[in-house]
Structure 1
Amino acid sequence: MPEIARRAAEAKARLERVSASATSADGAVTVTVGTSGALQELSFGPRADELPRARLAQAVLATAKRAQLDAARQLTAVMAPVIGADSDAMQFLREQIPEPDVPAEEPHREPRRNPPADDDFGGPILRRDR
């Protein structure tokens, strides 16, 4: 019994320190999550200023999911020695922490440039009389 209590106390201390960080491939987003996968920190690199809001939001979500996956792996690694790697309790724990669907990151593309206004609909909307 003292050995189990010692391992449990050690696991508890390790769990308190578990966090995981991930950075998007283009460096625009860095996310840190805790043991539960909850967001602890979010930062943006210089590249974030170049991304449209929708793309930036996608980068945040994809990066957070990668960090959550890492945190879940750390959690199961900490708990395996305490409850047994092949035990029913470990199986239950794994079922409670499903691996998130981590989307592949899209490469950053330069935004399309709009043609000059004079080319829209065959000519300018406003004309000056000369």
Structure 2
Amino acid sequence: MDGRPGIDGRQWLDSYQDRLSELKARADRAQAALAGVDGTAASPDGAVSVTVVPGGAVRRVVFSERSEALSRVQLAALVVETAARAQAEADRRVTEAVAPLLGDDSEAMRVIRSYRGAGS
């Protein structure tokens, strides 16, 4: 190259490709770990159960017979409260799934935790 000692172009390229391969493998593992993550919560009285995916989209709402004793306003409030608890559970499960891949003390985990805190 320029006569200076050090790494040659081929060594640098091989090293760079190795790093890219490792990053892709980590991304693939993270994607697989997150594929089935959701969060489910039930209301304290058991009238409502809500399942959400990361990001908050509601996947399922189940009403038990206990829900029949509630007014529509009470039931709506209970669904919203229960969905928020389900979202917190989904967030916790996301963190558990990606921490081993990203490193518990990594900058990426700090970002994930700060986002969780902002949404809570």
CA contact (8 A) 1:19 1:33 kept: yes
How many pairs are equivalent? 101
In the alignment, which of 51, 54, 66 is matched to residue 32 of structure 1? Answer: 51
CA separation in 2, counterparts of 1:37 and 1:86? 25
Pick one of 8, 33, 39 that aligns with 1:20: 39
C-alpha distance in 2 between matches for 1:81 and 1:6: 13
State the identity %.
41
Q: How far does residue 100 in structure 1 lie from its aligned partner after superposition?
A: 5.2
**What residue number does 2:99 align with?**
80
Map of 1:1-130 to 2, 5 A cutoff? Answer: 1=19, 2-98=21-117, 101=120
TM-score, with length taken from structure 2: 0.75
Q: Which runs of 5+ in 1 are unaligned?
A: 102-130
Q: CA separation of 1:100/1:50 partners in 2, compared to 1, >3 Å: closer, same or farther?
A: farther
SS at match of 1:66: helix
Task: Give 1 or 2: higher helix fraction.
Answer: 2
User: Structure 1 length normalisation: TM-score?
Assistant: 0.70
What is the aligned-residue RMSD (CA, Å)?
A: 1.7
CA drift at 1:8:
2.1
**Which of structures 1 and 2 has the bigger CA Rg?**
1
Which residue identity lines up with residue 70 of structure 1 in the other structure?
E
2:54 and 2:106 mapped to 1: Cα distance?
Answer: 21
Using the alignment, how far apart are the partners of 2:55 and 2:35 within structure 1?
11
Cα distance change of structure 1 residues 69 and 99 upon mapping to structure 2, 3 Å threshold: farther
Task: For structure 2, list consecutive stretches of 5 or more residues without a partner in the other structure.
Answer: 1-18
